[in-house]
Structure 1
Amino acid sequence: MQLEPETNIKNAVQNADGTAFIGHPKGLGFIVFTEAWERFSFYGMQALLVLYMATHLFLPEHSGNVAGFGAFQSFLESIFGPMSTQALASQTFGIYVGLVYFSPVIGGYLGDRFIGQHAAVMIGAMLMAIGHFLMAFEVSFLVALLFLIAGSGFLKGNLAAQVGQLYEASDQRRDAGYTIYNFSINVGAAIAPLVCGTLGELYGWHYGFGIAGIGMLVGLAIYVAGSRHLPKSKITSETIAARKLKKEDFAPIFVILIMLAITSLYWTAQAQVWNVYPLWIKDEVNRLIFGFEVPVTWFQSLDFMFVLAAAPLVLWFWRRQNKLGNEPQDSIKIAIGCLIFGLAFMMLVIGEMTSSDAGIHMFWPFIFHCICGTGFLYIGPVAMSFISRVAPASVNSMMIGSYYLAIFIGGFGSGWLGQLYETMAPQWFWLIHGGIVSSGAVLIVLLKPFMDKMARAE
């Protein structure tokens, strides 16, 4: 099975600078730093979003400033029924996250078939920069979300696909390349809440959103500077004809869709960390340290910091397993990650059960994020590498874009579940999420023989 489009382009890039960036092609370095700044802007805005909506923008005294808000609220309540401010904010966030991670499927298709991955990334970065700056104004809030959704669609799948195109199909550095790529995501995401979140939460929402826009422009500048080191696919009638699906391509696509459905259970739980979780931190956790109240957004930074801390250890552990001949297959790694993440939610349950009059001790969300970081490493980069390897060449970017379909489903799921937060005890709310993500491991064990037979890739 051919796994990558434009082999001649890859060979040119590979031979020119095959080990120029920590043992990887030079182009990976530019992609990594582009992605780090893009994630800085994205997660900087996202760290503020639910807090901004639930405690400021959607309150009656401010919501009238938002163009189209009345029609938007009426539309949502016609589907979900009357909602409190918190429920409306959670549902809006769920829809936004869902669409942000659905749009890369469309953007990936356009990159594969019409404009090429390079042009798609450029368009996406510019749209996202506009969206971030529009977030600084209350009146353009809903329009800003639309720009961010469209920009993410063009950028995410096509940028991730370019990582795979830097390597030959047989190059064993591919998994490490995607792990470095995901490492850059978490660097940007870890710094973002500390900078954008602190400015927005303590000094003014619009300062936080404005800094996020500047970060996106920096990412775009880095991408442009490294253009000559990146694979560029020229779309012609011949390449489109060569990329038609073959009969044998449908089985691996079906396997990818099964894996996406399973990983959406993980993303349903993970998306809640961006959704209701900040409100829970604000209301339930004692955030005082020697008289200083820790900003809510800093806790989201912990989520990514622990990924960075755990990554070298997890990579070392996998290399050791590989040398011993017992490194798990990708699907088993993902199952392990689901169990680890389910365990993390038990820390929130225990925190609720041991709460005092002063609130929940910060130890529990701290250990929660510590465990989450390891769980992500067994799921996020592994699933992306799995799709890159299994997906047919004709729809490689689109299928890598489909990785985000799992987050699309998870985003909508977290939005729907977020409405339950005000109606049940928090420990039950978090226990439900732990059960959802843990069920992914059970499904993988049950379906693995079938998936292995269909994919013939592991």
Structure 2
Amino acid sequence: MATASPTTLPSGKTWLGHPRGLFLLFFVEMWERFSFYGMRALLIFYLTQHFLFSDRDAAHSYGAYMSLIYISPLMGGYLADRYLGQRKAVLFGGIVIAAGHIILGLEADGSADAMGLGLFWSGLATVIVGTGFLKASVSAMVGQLYPRDDMRRDPAYTIFYMGINVGATIGPLICGYLGQRWGWHWGFGAASVGMIAGVIGFLLCKPLLQGKGEPPDPARLAERVGGVISREWLVYLSSLLAILLCWLLIQQHAVVGWMLAGASVLMVLYILWEAFGRMERIGRDRMLAALFLLFINPLFWGLYEQTGSSLSLFTARYTDRNILGFDVPASMFQSVNAAYILIFGPIFAALWIALAKRGREPSTPAKFGLALILVGAGFLILVAGTGAPGTLTPILFIFLLYLCHTLGELCLSPVGLSAMSKLAPSRMIGLIMGIWFLAMALGEYVAGMIAGATGGADGAASRDAVLSVYGDIGWWSIGIGIFVIAVAPFVKRLMHAGELSGEEGAEAEAQRDSFAIADRVEDKPA
């Protein structure tokens, strides 16, 4: 009697044909993103309005914070893989994140003196460390619920990333409204409630995980180091000490920049050494193609991530935010991007497959060029829609800017992850994915520098100064995007995609890109 294949037969109790643990992880990630994006929507306003930072200083602090957010999952993922296992890492990370938001909520009702600012940095540093543990592990646990050859595996990630974008949509709406209408502590407090809800749900529904994500060596994890403390608690306490390091780094914007620059140079040199010293021609060509795409990554995110800094301030000061008689708080508009992803993600997924079937799908580097053109066009549309001095910009142009930026993200974000996995040799996949997120962290730092440049000589932004910067970066982005499209055929040859060519191969590549299309890249750590 033949047995059913694991690719077609669900194991255990399921919901909608998927393990119930998937929806637990959906729930946890939705609330984590709710708390993260809800807090981020308030961050630039809190710095400029509560602590009275100049626009430039606030943008630099914002950039340093976001850079560290992207770097932290590298260490958190390593500790989860080697010691804790993903389940303990998600639980620990969620608790630490919730504690960070509680600290922010408590401080928000206090003074804006040096002591209050120090406590604020402590809250952000705590969120950074917690995010490193949770974000590095929760995505991995989704894959652990399925056999490697299970055909439900890729659709499961699409369901999971819908949770990401649901949380990213409602977080700024709720936390932004409460923070800017009722008081800062209400907004930050709502963010903490979201993460606490995720932690409680994760604790109560642990059996749904079917024993996945447990420590690789429980006996070793329980061993006492020096006869004093278990290795598990040593990991926890050491990680909490990392909060102090993050607390220092957030306040040293230049130090974070030098760290990122140094790490980036080392990674580029290492890739070149691997390509020319240890690989044959095809492998070398692919690594050079990967390096080309990696260079584009921080350029795109440096422009795109104006969302949480200079664009938020521009929306607050220079746009007509009255919608149906309601003066919408500027922080709430940070939900627009995630809402667009929920709408257009499935459309792009179907588009790539349809174009591939007809042999007309753009190559990966051409998609990167298109992404740069779209993000640049978004800024130029905003500049064109801004009227004479003293008039408010219609909010329509903010929606159009975010539309262009979201379409650009869908051309680059999931496609870039897919490209890295295809170009890297099997022994370097983890490293290359880590470098991809390092490049994103560098992009966040660049975003802070660009936002800081809108502040002018005295650090305070005027409308003309902001529009001048937006016009410049818009045209530069379009110009670089056109160049990337022009050289795309050459880069495509370096990728040796011909080995996967033909209708079947092209469609397979389009499907791999589309499976992750609902992903926001910052939410998929290596």
Would you say same fold, with TM above 0.5?
yes
Q: 2:495 aligns with which of 449, 452, 456?
A: 452
Q: 2:440 aligns with which of 398, 402, 407?
A: 407
SS at match of 1:137: helix
Report whether the alignment pairs 1:277 with 2:311: yes
Q: TM-score, normalised by structure 1?
A: 0.78
Q: 1:313 aligns with which of 347, 351, 368?
A: 347
Query: What does the per-residue CA deviation read over 1:374-405, in whole Å, with 9 as the maximum and x for residues that have no partner?
Result: 22222223333444566667776665555432
Distance in 2 separating the partners of 1:31 and 1:14: 22
Partner of 1:129: 98
Q: TM-score, normalised by structure 2?
A: 0.69
State, as a whole percentage, how many aligned pairs show the same letter: 33
Q: 2:71 aligns with which of 89, 95, 102?
A: 102
Partner of 1:382: 415
Distance in 2 separating the partners of 1:231 and 1:92: 38
- Which structure's CA Rg is the greater one? 2
**Which residue type is aligned with residue 448 of structure 1?**
V
Q: 1:229 to 1:222 in 2, by over 3 A?
A: farther
**Which residue type is aligned with residue 36 of structure 1?**
M
Unaligned runs of 5+ in 1: 1-10, 60-83, 238-245
Unaligned runs of 5+ in 2: 108-115, 219-273, 457-463, 501-508, 510-526
The 5-angstrom pairing of residues 238-387 of structure 1 reads 258-289=292-323, 291-352=325-386, 354-355=387-388, 357-387=390-420
Q: 1:47 aligns with which of 37, 41, 47?
A: 41
Q: 2:31 aligns with which of 37, 60, 68?
A: 37
Partner of 2:267: none
**Which residue type is aligned with residue 467 of structure 2?**
Q
Query: What does the per-residue CA deviation read over 1:291-321, in whole Å, with 9 as the maximum and x for residues that have no partner?
Result: 4322101211112211112123222323323
Q: 2:467 aligns with which of 427, 436, 442?
A: 427
Q: CA deviation at 1:336?
A: 3.0
Residues 107 and 398, structure 1, Cα contact 8 Å, conserved in 2: no
Distance in 2 separating the partners of 1:398 and 1:153: 17
Of 442-451 and 261-270, deviating more is 442-451
Distance in 2 separating the partners of 1:14 and 1:166: 14
Q: 1:193 to 1:212 in 2, by over 3 A?
A: same
Query: What does the per-residue CA deviation read over 1:122-158, in whole Å, with 9 as the maximum and x for residues that have no partner?
Result: 2221211111111113332111111111111112232
Distance in 1 separating the partners of 2:20 and 2:360: 32
**Which residue type is aligned with residue 150 of structure 1?**
V
Residues 22 and 145, structure 2, Cα contact 8 Å, conserved in 1: yes
SS at match of 1:185: helix
Q: CA deviation at 1:256?
A: 5.3
Q: How many residue pairs were aligned?
A: 415
Residues 6 and 149, structure 2, Cα contact 8 Å, conserved in 1: no
Partner of 1:143: 122
**Which residue type is aligned with residue 469 of structure 2?**
F
Query: What does the per-residue CA deviation read over 1:400-422, in whole Å, with 9 as the maximum and x for residues that have no partner?
Result: 55543233111111111122112
Q: 2:177 aligns with which of 163, 175, 198?
A: 198
Distance in 2 separating the partners of 1:386 and 1:24: 27
Distance in 2 separating the partners of 1:235 and 1:92: 38
The 5-angstrom pairing of residues 148-227 of structure 1 reads 148-166=127-145, 176-224=155-203, 225-226=205-206
Residues 264 and 409, structure 1, Cα contact 8 Å, conserved in 2: yes
Residues 189 and 304, structure 1, Cα contact 8 Å, conserved in 2: yes
Q: CA deviation at 1:209?
A: 0.4
Q: 1:258 to 1:160 in 2, by over 3 A?
A: farther
Report whether the alignment pairs 1:232 with 2:213: yes
Residues 179 and 188, structure 2, Cα contact 8 Å, conserved in 1: yes
SS at match of 1:120: helix
**Which residue type is aligned with residue 179 of structure 2?**
G
**Which residue type is aligned with residue 100 of structure 2?**
G
Q: CA deviation at 1:107?
A: 1.6
Distance in 1 separating the partners of 2:92 and 2:289: 31
Distance in 1 separating the partners of 2:190 and 2:345: 28
Residues 365 and 484, structure 2, Cα contact 8 Å, conserved in 1: no
Q: CA deviation at 1:268?
A: 0.7
